[in-house]
Homo-oligomer: A and B are copies of this chain.
Amino acid sequence: MIAIVKAAELFTRREEEAVSPKQERAVQEILSRVKREGDTAVRELTARLDGVELAQFQVKESEIDAAVATISPGAKEALALAARRIRSYHERQKSNSWIEAEEDGTVLGQLVRPLARVGLYVPGGRAAYPSTVLMTAIPASVAGTEEVVMVTPPGPDGEVPAITLAAAREAGVTRVFKMGGAQAVAALAYGTESIPQVDKIVGPGNIYVALAKRMVYGQVDIDAIAGPSEIVVIADENADPVYIAADLLSQAEHDPMASAVLLTPSASLAEGVTNELQRQCEALPRAEIAAASLLNHGALCITRDLAEAIELANRLAPEHLELMVEDPWLWVGQIKNAGALFLGPWSPEAVGDYLAGPNHVLPTNGTARFFSALSVDDFSKKTSLISYSQRALLRDGPGVITLAEAEGLQGHAASIRARIEKEE
């Protein structure tokens, strides 16, 4: 069910879901209809695509109250714990505005301010993703964003799952709208009668959502388009095959395109993990998905030593990287590329997916080489501040003139000269 491969075979990049011209045209059409017709278009598209007739999109506060009341105490507690830990981690990410005041009267600085209004896309339909709500809404709320608007497709009954609404309440979402697909992205990007235009849209979705986000980019900001998800586990001979197999399966059960890879210098560990994968996979409700993922995108690779395992992991630049080795902190400095790093046997990926604190929206498919987890920064913008004094301008002006003239921009030079000449 999983292949033992050589190092070189690890580097076949998974192709992203192919987009057909027909899908592109369909999304383009939805975007322009919603831009032109607003709510009317969203209402018709929701009836046609989600099979639900909605009189109004916004979920009322009283509906959220009612939903929260149906949640079990255990679930309520788990949401609160997760929200608390996620909030506490993201509070550490906040940047302050700063200034530097120089003796000559010059003041330079950087203002850091929250985006005013953001839109969260939370997948729905038949499943509920409360963790996506927490992981996208809390960084926005910590950044200070005043309006955090959430859209999620209604289920066949026209409702949003109670636990999704409870998560929205817990995370400080300001308004929830029942809409999904490209039409929801369009509504957030352009605004309609009932939904306000936002500055940024974040959150995962299907191919139509991803296409729509890509097309409205520039009109609003978006987060990185998520590709198939992956885990790499680096383990030494003393690691527990039971834990490793369980963690690989927790990745593989997401999606047949997900990838789970073990890198270890120990052939006997690899064998133990293979056996455990077989045993544990059978017990999973999503065994079929997990097995397809392991078969097509899973791999066990026996490395010369741990150093080679680290080197391979750096080249793979995985979304999740577990270090199941003795003294994992010894190796942290050698890990160059990973979205999130899990150290030791008590840090399974699942704890990071739900409630350790760090964000679970992570760079996928090798992009950890240059992308990072969703963070408070993603909901902040910066403005540079320049307040020159007369003295400083007279001193630095000649340098500006020299450089502007070197670039053939005499108007730039003239704007400095106008000030210098006036003073002479």
Interface residues of A (CB under 8 A from B): 16, 74-75, 77-79, 81-82, 85, 89, 92-93, 95, 98, 100, 106-108, 110-111, 113, 115-116, 127-131, 163, 199-200, 218, 220-221, 225, 240, 242-243, 246-247, 249-250, 252-254, 280, 283-286, 290, 328-329, 332, 335-359, 362, 367-373, 375, 377, 381-390, 392-393, 396-400, 402-404, 406-416, 418-419, 422
Contacts and interface: CB of A to CB of B under 8 A. Distances in A.
Q: Main SS of the interface on chain A?
A: mixed
A328 B388 CA distance: 12
Contacts of A329: 387
A81 B116 CA distance: 37
A392 B335 contact: no
23 contacts: A74-B402, A82-B403, A92-B110, A113-B336, A115-B370, A127-B407, A243-B419, A246-B418, A250-B414, A280-B414, A284-B410, A284-B411, A284-B414, A286-B410, A340-B385, A345-B419, A347-B386, A347-B387, A350-B412, A351-B386, A352-B384, A354-B404, A375-B382
Given A82-B403, A355-B403, A369 B381 contact: yes
A349 B357 CA distance: 42
B253 A392 contact: no
Contacts of A82: 399, 403
Nearest to A396: B355
A367 B199 CA distance: 9
Nearest to A365: B218
Contact of A348 (B81, B335, B416): B416
Contacts of A163: 406
> How many chain copies does the complex carry?
2
Contacts of A389: 346
Chain A to chain B: the 5 pairs with minimum beta-carbon distance, closest first: A358-B384, A253-B411, A246-B415, A343-B387, A78-B399
B409 A340 contact: no
A131 to B, nearest CB: 6
B373 A253 contact: no
Contacts of A89: 100, 108
B339 A411 contact: no
A108 B352 CA distance: 10
Contacts of A369: 115-116, 199, 381
B253 A412 contact: yes
B372 A382 contact: yes
A283 B414 contact: yes
B351 A414 contact: no
A385 B343 contact: yes
B128 A383 contact: no
A282 to B, nearest CB: 12
